[in-house]
Amino acid sequence: MHYLLFFEKTTCPKDALLHNFALPLCFTKHPFFMNPTYTALDFLPILMQFGVAAAFVAFTLAMIAVLGPKRAGSVKDLSFECGIESEGNARVPYSIKYFLVAILFVLFDVEVIFLYPWAVNFKSLGLVGLIEMTVFVSFFLFGFYYIVKRGALDWE
């Protein structure tokens, strides 16, 4: 016996948990699948929650429009950045290095996101998990070595 989906008892073969194609067979004993005759009233609490959220947003925006200050003027309508007056054209092209560093940051940040679940389940994954993660990290280290050699992180 296995306990899946809200700890409902199921009769699922032990090896079916290892294969994704057999996993849906394990969920057939769940009450959701046993009684598929739901009416629109069963979804009323969800619709009410959406309605309350939309009403709160509309009420908040209306109160801001009614109670908020209305001091328009030529000085107030000027754009500024961090309290500093703007100079020149805003359409100045940026160096491609800026975008390259940003993309590389996202790439290596995603790697760290994949490392957290592996670190949590390190003991249960065993030697196979260690080998798989070593291959995964080696690909990223090779990529990091490549971008360092190409000079992508050299800021001029």
Residue 3 pLDDT: 41
Residue 88 pLDDT: 74
Residue 97, exposed/middle/buried by CB under 10 A (0-12, 13-18, 19+)?
middle
The vertex-128 CA angle with 124 and 131, nearest 5°, equals 120
24 secondary structure, DSSP code: G
Residue 63 pLDDT: 95
Residue 66 pLDDT: 92
> What are the domain boundaries of the chain?
1-37, 40-68, 96-150
Q: Full-prediction pTM beyond 0.85?
A: no
Work out whether the CA dihedral 105, 108, 111, 113 comes out positive or negative.
Answer: negative
Segments in the chain below pLDDT 50 = 1-10, 15-25
Asked if 121 contacts 132 with a C-beta cutoff of 8 angstroms, the reply is no
14 closest CA partner among 5, 25, 3, 1: 1
Assigned CATH topology for domain 96-150:
Methane Monooxygenase Hydroxylase; Chain G, domain 1 (1.20.58)
